[in-house]
Amino acid sequence: MRTAVGQFTAVPEWKDNLLSCRHLLEQAEEGGADLLVLPEGILARFGGEGEKHRIREAAQPLDGPFVTALREMTAGGRATVVAGIHEPSGDGRVFNTLVALRDGRLVAQYRKIHLYDAFGDRESEHVRPADEPPVVIDVAGTQVGLMTCYDIRFPELARLLADAGAQMLALPAAWVRGPAKERHWEVMLAARALENTCWVAASGECGPRNIGNSMIVDPLGTVRSRLSSAPGLAWAETDPETTSAARRALPVLANRRFAVSPELLAPGELP
């Protein structure tokens, strides 16, 4: 499978962000991509404290103009596109939602489970946590599990996706800059790949607030391709045989002694 991860800097107007998506999708199609992973929350920029309320204002339903236009862009194409938006939730907040689009259709959606209430931020003030099961989709014969940004800090979700058959994790993100934050990103992408002997295709929004640093990591934790801080695409051939070979050489999934339960805790509840 030919995989691309793309990054750009979101701006306040969703139509401008849609043009950025179109530009990256056109490049991905020209390069023969089966999968294109774009960043989290690309309807609008949400930078400083004074802008965070705009998450609610900019949210659109899955049949709204942004997703409809992006879906139409995929019609007749080869690539499955995974990207993040904010979607009205019905309780005054929004869901942080991933959409998977292919050939003009909405293939799947995943609403973020783990909210970024960390490092002084409070995503839960504006975003409602989902309580849906993990989502795995088939892309060109590869099983791809969906995760969003802060989810990468929770290895049990990645393991649940591996248990559900995932050979790759697709991770749209908007990883906020901060002390050691880029190191956290790199370590955890490699760790989730190694723990589950799966590929990780991670797209990070770039710009003044977020690190970018999109990358594709193989099942033995090696970075196969990466970007720095500028907009663009990173590419890799993410073939299932590499996954199978890694799982034969490093059978951690077969050797483990503990199961991971899909039972969800309430936000803030200790097990």
Using alpha carbons, list the distances in angstroms from residue 210 to 8, 143, 174. 10, 29, 6
Catalytic residue numbers?
Answer: 40, 112, 149
| Residue 65 near residue 267 (C-beta atoms within 8 A) | no
| Residue 136 near residue 143 (C-beta atoms within 8 A) | yes
Q: Looking up tokens 């723990």, which residue turns up? A: 195
Q: Is the dihedral of CA 112, 261, 152, 150 positive or negative?
A: positive
Torsion of CA 59, 266, 123, 180, to 10 degrees: -140
